[in-house]
Amino acid sequence: MARAVVRVGAIDIGTNTVRLLVADVELASLTDVERIVEVVGLGRGVDATRHFDPDRVEQAIAVLMTYRDRLRQHGAARIRAVATSATRDAEDGEAFLQRATMALGTRPDLITGVEEAALAFRGATDGLRGETPALVLDPGGGSTEFVFGHDRPEYTVTIDIGSVRLTDRLLPERPAAPDRVEAVAAEVAEMFAVVRLPSMPARVIGVAGTFTSLAAIALGLTAHDRSLVHGAALSLEELDRLVEHLSGLTVEETAAIPSLDPKRAPVLLGGAIVAGEAVRVSGLEEAFVSESDLLDGIALDLATSD
């Protein structure tokens, strides 16, 4: 007998964004009901202070209250929220989780980098099928996950650097001088030197907002279009060109890029550097961009759990 359709709700409380996916899942096939992405920047400053900024916490809580209403309106039968790098790092992370629980009506799970990577791998490889082994790259705001495997993760590494953390640490000014960008890229490459892939991947899949935003810019889109971004190829040469281009812009000029959510502008250069250096680790010359990621992995897990 065919498995019934299950309506699920997935929430990702990340370092830069707070995201919602409501989806119908049937036999591991996922159909979107609604996706929302809000750039909150919850993790800005956490790397230095180990505490959340109160104003950003208030923004995140307001977003979560909106998501609670959307989940109720859509009638999600199963719900899971997760919190990632910034909440792992913040000394007041538990206090934030308590407030998030009140806002959502369900307690977010504080997941490890390994679980974050596994969920991203499931979402990415289900959404963009092809040759294996695959290497999934998930550069978030606070950490970057490298996940290698065939049908499931076989090798996982989480490195504590991402678009927000890198910007806070090393890229406070825009435009950024070429020698500064070169030095930052070298530092990221040194951090990624611990990655030891079991073998050469057949393909690389880049997920999350940095990769999808960069792909939209590379494609010259006038507005972000998931259907065009999903499956797009980003070569190392193109990523390097994007880093060079973004490094010459002010934050305001970056925010004016038509396909970009303006709230991503302050950290996109840092994200582009991280993405490029992560692809370089793979030994391949390009990455395919997937709009399916950790959120989709959560949704698929929810639907198949008993």
Q: What is the pLDDT of residues 118-167, one digit of tens each?
A: 999 999 998 888 899 999 999 988 899 999 999 899 999 999 999 999 99
- Our count of domains for the chain comes to 2
Q: Are residues 215 and 284 in the same domain?
A: yes
Mean pLDDT of the chain: 94
Confidence band (pLDDT; 50, 70, 90) for 24? very high
Question: What is the bridge-based pairing of β-strands 109-110 and 233-235?
Answer: unpaired
Q: Which of 66, 89, 113 is where one domain is finished?
A: 113
CA distance linking residue 287 with residue 295, whole number of Å:
20
In 3-state terms the chain splits into helix, strand, coil percentages (rounded to 5) of 50, 25, 30
- Residues 6 or more apart whose CB falls under 8 angstroms from that of 145 comprise 113, 116, 117, 120, 136, 137, 138, 156, 157, 158
Q: Which of 53, 88, 113 is where one domain is finished?
A: 113
Percent of residues, the chain, with pLDDT higher than 70: 99
pTM assigned to the model = 0.91
pLDDT value at 192 more than 50: yes
The alpha carbons of the chain give a radius of gyration, in whole angstroms, of 18
pLDDT value at 222 more than 50: yes
Domain with residue 63: its CATH number is 3.30.420.40
User: Would you state the pLDDT for residue 275?
Assistant: 97
Residue 245 lies in a domain: yes
Q: Which of 49, 80, 113 is where one domain is finished?
A: 113
Residue 298 lies in a domain: no
The arithmetic mean of pLDDT across residues 12-41, rounded, is 92
Percent of residues, the chain, with pLDDT higher than 90: 86
Stretch (H or E) spanning 35: strand 29-39
The arithmetic mean of pLDDT across residues 275-302, rounded, is 95
User: Would you state the pLDDT for residue 1?
Assistant: 40
Q: What is the pLDDT of residues 232-282, one digit of tens each?
A: 999 999 999 999 999 999 999 999 999 999 999 999 999 999 999 999 999
User: Would you state the pLDDT for residue 299?
Assistant: 94
Q: Are residues 106 and 43 in the same domain?
A: yes
Q: Are residues 131 and 278 in the same domain?
A: yes
Residue 122 lies in a domain: no
User: Would you state the pLDDT for residue 212?
Assistant: 97
Q: Are residues 134 and 273 in the same domain?
A: yes
Residue 118 lies in a domain: no
Q: What is the pLDDT of residues 82-103, one digit of tens each?
A: 999 889 999 999 999 999 999 9
Residue 92, exposed/middle/buried by CB under 10 A (0-12, 13-18, 19+)?
middle
Q: Are residues 239 and 261 in the same domain?
A: yes
Confidence band (pLDDT; 50, 70, 90) for 26? confident
User: Would you state the pLDDT for residue 235?
Assistant: 97
User: Would you state the pLDDT for residue 303?
Assistant: 84
**Structural domain harbouring 15:** 6-113
Backbone angles phi, psi at 2, to 5 degrees: -65, 145
Select the more confidently predicted residue: 72 or 172.
Answer: 72
User: Would you state the pLDDT for residue 243?
Assistant: 97
